[in-house]
Chain A
Amino acid sequence: MNEFIFFINIVVISGAVIGSIYALGAIGVTLIFGILRFAHFAHADMMTLGTFLVLVLTALFPAVGPAIGLPTAFVMMPLAMAATAVIAIGIDKAFYKPLRENNVKPVVMVMASVGVTLMLQGLIRFFAGTGSQSLFVDDRKAIFRIDLPFESASRAIVVTEPQILLFLFLAVAVVSLHLFLNKSRLGKAMRAMSDNPDLARVSGINTNTVVGVTWIIAGALACAAGTLLSLDVTLKPDLSFMILLPIFAAAIVGGVGHPYGALAGGFVVGFAETLAVFNWAFLLRPLEQALPWLDLPNNLAFVPTEYKITIPFFILVAILIWRPTGIFKGKVI
């Protein structure tokens, strides 16, 4: 029984947590991919930037959270999301829009986003240093232990407050995004532009507004993803390329330009990672007791933790070989 609880704690919960983070990032990446048609390499550093803004706000107003009963950083998150959205629009105006108007090839846009990501990295590291920081400035992380009503279960299922907030936020974000894309004029215009940008222009759809909305959503979600990840672990300013790869993998697995696909892709990549580094020996140990001739090695993980980065890469390669359009058919290849 304890082995099973261990499995839930290590695989189910952790997988869902990291999957949710990837999903939040991948939704933004996939929207940008769909509307602006380039892989946005600056997304990971946009996440870090948003988180850094939360850190600053949290340090400025540390007493707000305890008054409401939530982590201060989570209370500050909406403000930082708005700020990140504004910054995202500003970055677009300054660096992407001029190139777009010159009708450059998509790959030049990719490089421009690399330029932006390096600038963001420089700024973040200059002001925040490279060490890890905690978003809990004046409060503590609440941890919930859920005991199972079984004789043999001496361990408890452990969930932290940030994890619950993450799941709730993801649910709210996905439902709102769904309603926005399917019910509102602007949301439908976004889908239209991602479907056929030339026809959107010919129809009189204001493409600048649509691009702006895309950056607002992507920027806000990136900030939320970074903050919720940092609340769960710590804020690492140099995450950048390490988290970019799984997010891209998630977006491509889900089918580029397909927000629900990105959601599914995020969980696929998240669970694949956790399952691959999970030490299966823990789960199989009861079997060893039952079958005395069985001799299990101590470590039965598929991939050592140091090589976790290979998992999203292999998922990416596999999907590019077998189904480049993604599991939900994306449109742009």
Chain B
Amino acid sequence: MQNAKKEIILFSGLAVLVLWVLVAMGPAFGVRVLAEASCYAILALGLTIQWGYAGLFNAGIMGFVALGGFMAMLFGFPVNEDFWNTDLPAQLGGVGLKALFGIALIYGSTKLYKLGFPGKKLRLTLTLVLSLAVYLWVKTSLDPVASAIESQAGFIGGFGWPIWIGWIVGGSLAGLIAYFIGHICLGLRSDYLAIATLGIAEIIKAFLKNADWLTRGTLTVSPLPWPGPGPAEIGFVAARAVYLSLTAVIIAGLVFLLYRAYNAPWGRTMRAIRDNELSSSAMGKNVNGRRLEVFIFGSVLMGIGGAALITFNGIFDPSGFLPLNHTFLIWVMVILGGAGNNLGTLFGAVFVYVVWTMSEPVALYLLDVMRNLGEAWFAWEAPADLDSRALQARVFVIGLIISLVLRYAPKGLIPEKVAHHT
């Protein structure tokens, strides 16, 4: 009863906040913020599954976001005729075939023991040397093709397919990467997963940023087509509203699925593992298998959410992926809202995103006041980059919120409801 009351108060507060933004900043801006918040909500749902259901620390959400965004761009962006009308696609295909052949060779070398090939160490060395050779071979054949593409066609462009295909592929690819990382790390200490995901995110970003032939790198790709009608056709407010309703449908579907899964045996097993790993594994639960499922599923959502977010932004900019905006902001949404509680996560996503967006003008305004006062009273000469510093200071606030929530409200504002069976 107490909880229901608190939820009503929190959600009405959120509604007032959203209304205020809509009125004060205009509907075009307001709907934009809401649409972006809804994309973040998909990301946050992915994280709440990983962290709230299974206690997995994913410090590399940014990587999955970037991957989803890249796939959306690759599939949805119009075809680049400059590229397809040359023999470059054939050359690129040749490199691809070489890579496939090389991977088959390496895979074969790991199966040599079936032919009775002696010595475990010898086989391992052989595989390593072979991998290195294949890597160098593929790399030296790719390099000239890549620079030819860059000089003749800019980049390979997209496939010109409906962009939602890219969303799905992006989600699947994110899941595939999650499978590999999870496979390696989930049997080990929980910290190692955090370190590995942090690493993979930086690597994905470095790759997308520097593979100019594939992504145009720092030149960025825009405009990305929208799954619904674009602003040019029906105006900003309407187009954004259509987009928002699309993401809202996705979220509703996800929440329904998660609700079912959470209360199904699968969800109960998950929570049992999270709360007491030892006894669950003693009861014969496949702890790492379950965790891997959760990790993959959450990452798929992050890929889709990332694709939705980048598509909405309309621009694919690999340098724009920041750990702060695309990893830790989502962490704040989840732990502040209530990890493991879908409603809490949605609340956290919308609330934190609105506050985050509004904090930019507020921080600039405060800094401006400070600068004027400083100049007037102390003849203080403000550094020229004070504005960018003011935005940097928001990092501090995010960190502070994480620390405070962990200490004073470890279950978040709307905690997970634990049903006690007595």
Contacts and interface: CB of A to CB of B under 8 A. Distances in A.
Interface string B190-219: 111011101110110011011000000000
A121 B195 contact: no
Chain B interface mostly helix, strand, loop or mixed? helix
B199 A245 contact: yes
Contact of A310 (B140, B143, B206, B209): B206
B406 A121 contact: no
A286 interface: no
A68 interface: no
Q: Which of A111, A123, A129, A248 has the most CB of B within 10 A?
A: A111
A272 to B, nearest CB: 13
A241 interface: yes
Contacts of A112: 402-403, 406
Contact of A114 (B59, B190, B390, B393): B59
Interface stretch (A101-109, A179-187, A190-198, A223-231): A101-109
Given A39-B194, A99-B406, A129-B383, A106 B199 contact: no
A244 to B, nearest CB: 7
Nearest to A126: B393
A118 B188 contact: no
Interface stretch (B19-27, B226-234, B323-331): B323-331
Contacts of A310: 203, 206
Contacts of B335: 111
Nearest to A312: B199
Contact of B399 (A117, A126, A306): A117
Chain A interface mostly helix, strand, loop or mixed? helix
B203 A306 contact: no
A78 interface: no
Interface in A220-251: 241-242, 244-245, 248
A324 B196 CA distance: 13
Nearest to A129: B385
A309 interface: yes
A105 B55 contact: yes
Contacts of A95: 403, 407
Given A99-B407, A320-B188, A122 B323 contact: no
Contact of A106 (B189, B195, B390): B189
Interface residues of B, number: 52
A324 B396 contact: no
Given A111-B331, A310-B203, A122 B392 contact: yes
Given A118-B395, A317-B196, A105 B203 contact: no
Contact of B195 (A129, A306, A316): A316
B249 interface: no
Given A106-B190, A114-B59, A312-B199, A119 B403 contact: yes
B85 interface: no
A39 B191 contact: yes
A252 interface: yes
B184 interface: yes
B57 A242 contact: no
Given A95-B403, A307-B207, A310-B203, A111 B57 contact: yes
A7 B190 CA distance: 40
B16 interface: no
B202 A115 contact: no
B398 interface: yes
A41 interface: yes
A332 interface: yes
Contacts of B200: 313
A98 interface: yes
B191 A108 contact: no
Contacts of A123: 396
B392 A118 contact: no
Given A39-B195, A122-B392, A122-B399, A114 B331 contact: yes
A104 B396 CA distance: 23
A122 B185 contact: no
A309 B392 contact: no
A121 B195 CA distance: 18
Given A111-B402, A114-B59, A306-B206, 16 more contacts: A106-B189, A106-B191, A107-B57, A114-B399, A116-B399, A116-B403, A118-B399, A125-B393, A244-B198, A248-B195, A306-B209, A310-B206, A313-B199, A316-B199, A324-B188, A333-B189
19 contacts: A111-B402, A111-B406, A115-B399, A115-B402, A118-B396, A118-B399, A119-B396, A119-B399, A121-B396, A125-B392, A126-B396, A241-B202, A241-B323, A302-B136, A306-B206, A307-B210, A313-B199, A313-B200, A324-B188
Interface of A: 33, 38-39, 41, 95, 98-99, 104-108, 110-112, 114-123, 125-126, 129-131, 241-242, 244-245, 248, 252, 297, 299, 302, 304, 306-307, 309-310, 312-313, 316-317, 320-321, 324, 332-333
